[in-house]
Structure 1
Amino acid sequence: MTAPVRVPLPQDLGRHFPGDALVRLEGVTKTFPARRGAAPFTALDGIDLAVRRGSVLGVIGRSGAGKSTLIRLVNGLERPTGGRVIVGEAEISRLPEAELRRERRGIGMIFQHFNLLSARTAAGNVALPLEVAGYDRAAIRARVNELLDLVGLTAQRDRYPAELSGGQKQRVGIARALATSPKVLLSDEATSALDPETTRSILDLLARINRELGLTILLITHEMSVIRAISHEVAVLDQGRIAESGDVFEVFTRPQAAITRTFLDHETGRALPPVLAERLRAGQPGEGDSAVLRITFRGPHATDPVLAQLVRDAGIVACILSGTVDEIAGKPFGTLVVSVDGHPEIVARTQGFLRERGLDAEFLGTLPADAWPAPRSETRHVA
């Protein structure tokens, strides 16, 4: 038997790789060779990524961003062109095939379209990886019963996939992925084929599995709502590179990359109502125009009555144009889009007042005087 390629932990971890990282991608590149006259295609380009032990990391990106390639590298279905892929202490990217098959027992996988065997019952599908691994019948029966109970399908154990709903099929897929007690669970768009209500139930199940079993989860999705529901950290993939990554609350409330802001526009209330967006103009306000600001409420002042304070303490009137109040990762968060008197001194004082209280105040543009009612401050400003 060929021993797995091991890497020392945690001494060789760089600043991008915390000591509790269970999955690591170090400088990973994947280029597919030219086909039918087309040029070679680089799906991933210099990816550095770490999944902390016991955490849920969501990777989001548009179609073609490299998400599926990334997850196939983690379970060894693809080999990187360059860099290293490490799960636990095994360098997956360099294992010989026989050892890779054994290591895969520690890497569970759930799929978008379930991938169940139609000729096997729910119990039979869950039992399959245990049979392949050589477990005896009694152990298989006990483990299958345990897993079907975990995913809430004890009553459906003898039903075939054609007799199950989409959500039930995915629960079977999750139970099967957990059969060999993996150290990490990979989820490839596991909810994108499901309706919203079923999606919520599946995400609740995955969150419970992470919480109760301490299972590390790497999930791939194109929906920020999925990231928001269960992830602790997020990485935004764009054209084969990581555009942004970090704590979910930080990325959701202070996105830095343009693609992240695009994903978040509708998820966190950042998108302007169409009636407002079509009237908004770039550039600084002129005489009689209004300035439009987006206020982001986060941290210790997220629930403070700042607009009332703005009027009372600074004499500045702000008209609410749109807004949302919500919670992300258990922390209060909200956005308000407001208009204020467009005079530069009023705009500067408004932004300064808000930033002193730890709130972001982003200037979005101008509403011409003839396009929207203009607020006027109660104090005189210097001409």
Structure 2
Amino acid sequence: MGEDERRLPSADRASERDPLIRIEGVSKRYPAGANGEPVAALSDVNLGVASGSVLGVIGRSGAGKSTLIRLLNGLEKPTEGRVVVDGAEVSSLDERRLRDVRRRIGMVFQHFNLLASRTASGNVALPLEIAGVPRAAIRAQVAELLDLVGLADKRDRYPAELSGGQKQRVGIARALATGPKVLLSDEATSALDPETTRAILDLLARINRDLGLTIVLITHEMSVIRAIADQVAVLEHGRIVEGGAVFDVFTRPQTEITRALLAGEMGLRLPPSLAERLRPEAGPGTATVLRITFRGEHATDPIVARLAREMGIEANILSGTVDEIGGQPFGSLIVALPPGPDVAARASAFLSARDLAVDPVGYLAPAIGRSRHVA
């Protein structure tokens, strides 16, 4: 993979205007694993994140997400490359100077990491106490932060008395205590139920909007990326395999891993009775299955009707959705085409000529007792 392909194009272009975070040629290798070879957690990663933007980093377990976030806050040093946050090269600082930089980097954890012996206000106050802020100023700032996250009435409650969502709000308030420019979120919603997750993401979006914080979200859930991020980077085996504006990546994914991560989020799952009939290769009587993605002004086009009217190809809709990302509409359909030597090629050419993305899904075997291609 060439250097241009490894970069996150849209995020890099934004960072050229107003860079706050730059990851340049970063690789991270750990000591020898079970086979005696060094373990490569990250390989030649390049990222640029604009000030005030939200970057979502997504990948499966073991993709390198946690290593990346530990490099950003200086808990790890890269084997190669540079990590620059707000003008400071985090990867080259000694411990004393690193402490100063970390005051500009807030951290929100998956399992909250609150001190059980301290109240909500005591947990939020901790970084301010460590920084030597006067007590009166601490009290005022803690009260303001707890009000910001909607927990002014819970200031004297201990973590054991708080719900998961309330604990995470305390964690967010604590991360904001030192007035950071960057907020790092490491799977901050994965331990929460869907309703609480939405509330926390709404809070983070408001913090990004009102305070102008730059946020980097580490997650394995595309729904989190879609809800809040401007840009997305997809990690696989320690490399960025795809990246750019969320709308572009979601509606025109370029890699198999991205398509797999998007499958549920984009309403592209087939019903089980159809999925079990899907085959990777064509066979007698199989229907070609295509995924069609509509963007922008084409999101509500009656394309299936036009395909039948203009090309004489009757496509059966197996699954579909019409939605929007960041206010931009998009639609997705999975359709089955009738058997025939050139039907799929003709249909794909017709659709592609109308600026629709067309991706092969597989081949649908006939239902038992039926010879037609319909489901």
Q: TM-score, normalised by structure 1?
A: 0.89
Q: Assess if the C-alpha contact under 8 Å between 2:15 and 2:51 holds in 1.
A: no
Deviation, structure 1 residue 341:
2.5
Deviation, structure 1 residue 292:
2.1
Structure with the greater alpha carbon radius of gyration: 1
Query: What is aligned with 2:354?
Result: 357
Query: What is aligned with 1:325?
Result: 322
Whole-Å separation in 1 of the counterparts to 2:79 and 2:254: 29
Query: What is aligned with 1:247?
Result: 245
Letter in 1 for 2:218: I
Describe the shift of the 1:250–1:139 C-alpha distance in structure 2 as closer, same or farther (beyond 3 A): same
Q: What SS does structure 2 have at the residue aligned with 1:176? A: helix
Q: Assess if the C-alpha contact under 8 Å between 1:107 and 1:185 holds in 2.
A: yes
Deviation, structure 1 residue 345:
3.7
Letter in 1 for 2:268: R
Query: What is aligned with 1:170?
Result: 168
Between 1:317-326 and 1:177-186, the stretch displaced more is 317-326
Q: What SS does structure 2 have at the residue aligned with 1:361? A: strand
Describe the shift of the 1:273–1:145 C-alpha distance in structure 2 as closer, same or farther (beyond 3 A): same
Q: Assess if the C-alpha contact under 8 Å between 1:321 and 1:336 holds in 2.
A: yes
> What residue ranges of structure 1 are gaps of 5+ in the alignment?
1-13, 377-383
Whole-Å separation in 1 of the counterparts to 2:45 and 2:210: 30
1:54 matches 2:58? no
Query: What is aligned with 2:8?
Result: none
Query: What is aligned with 1:312?
Result: 309
Describe the shift of the 1:32–1:165 C-alpha distance in structure 2 as closer, same or farther (beyond 3 A): same
Letter in 1 for 2:104: G
Q: Assess if the C-alpha contact under 8 Å between 1:16 and 1:48 holds in 2.
A: no
Query: What is aligned with 2:17?
Result: 19
Q: TM-score, normalised by structure 2?
A: 0.91
The CA RMSD measured in Å over matched residues stands at 2.2
Q: Assess if the C-alpha contact under 8 Å between 1:231 and 1:248 holds in 2.
A: yes
> What residue ranges of structure 2 are gaps of 5+ in the alignment?
1-11
Whole-Å separation in 1 of the counterparts to 2:146 and 2:365: 61
Describe the shift of the 1:314–1:207 C-alpha distance in structure 2 as closer, same or farther (beyond 3 A): same
Greater than 4 Å deviation, 4+ residue runs: 14-17, 35-38, 368-373
Whole-Å separation in 1 of the counterparts to 2:250 and 2:31: 36
Whole-Å separation in 2 of the counterparts to 1:66 and 1:362: 28
Q: Assess if the C-alpha contact under 8 Å between 1:121 and 1:157 holds in 2.
A: yes
Whole-Å separation in 1 of the counterparts to 2:319 and 2:152: 47
Query: What is aligned with 1:342?
Result: 339
Q: Assess if the C-alpha contact under 8 Å between 1:285 and 1:291 holds in 2.
A: no
Query: What is aligned with 1:379?
Result: none
Deviation, structure 1 residue 186:
0.3
Describe the shift of the 1:289–1:59 C-alpha distance in structure 2 as closer, same or farther (beyond 3 A): closer
Q: Percent identity?
A: 66
Describe the shift of the 1:100–1:261 C-alpha distance in structure 2 as closer, same or farther (beyond 3 A): same
Q: Assess if the C-alpha contact under 8 Å between 1:294 and 1:362 holds in 2.
A: yes
- 1:161-207, Cα deviation, whole Å (9 max, x unpaired): 11111110000000000011100000011111111111111111101
Query: What is aligned with 1:66?
Result: 64
Whole-Å separation in 2 of the counterparts to 1:263 and 1:30: 24
Whole-Å separation in 1 of the counterparts to 2:366 and 2:62: 44
Question: In structure 2, which of residues 223, 227, 230 is the aligned counterpart of residue 229 of structure 1?
Answer: 227
Q: Assess if the C-alpha contact under 8 Å between 2:33 and 2:39 holds in 1.
A: no
Query: What is aligned with 1:187?
Result: 185
Deviation, structure 1 residue 297:
1.5
Whole-Å separation in 2 of the counterparts to 1:63 and 1:190: 15
Deviation, structure 1 residue 368:
4.3
Letter in 1 for 2:361: L
Letter in 2 for 1:343: G
Between 1:364-373 and 1:339-348, the stretch displaced more is 364-373
Matches within 5 A, 1:1-383: 18-34=16-32, 38-284=36-282, 289-368=286-365, 374=372
Aligned length: 363
Q: Assess if the C-alpha contact under 8 Å between 2:57 and 2:218 holds in 1.
A: yes
Q: What SS does structure 1 have at the residue aligned with 2:234? A: strand
Between 1:342-351 and 1:331-340, the stretch displaced more is 342-351
Q: What SS does structure 1 have at the residue aligned with 2:372? A: coil
Q: Assess if the C-alpha contact under 8 Å between 1:28 and 1:85 holds in 2.
A: yes
Letter in 2 for 1:208: R
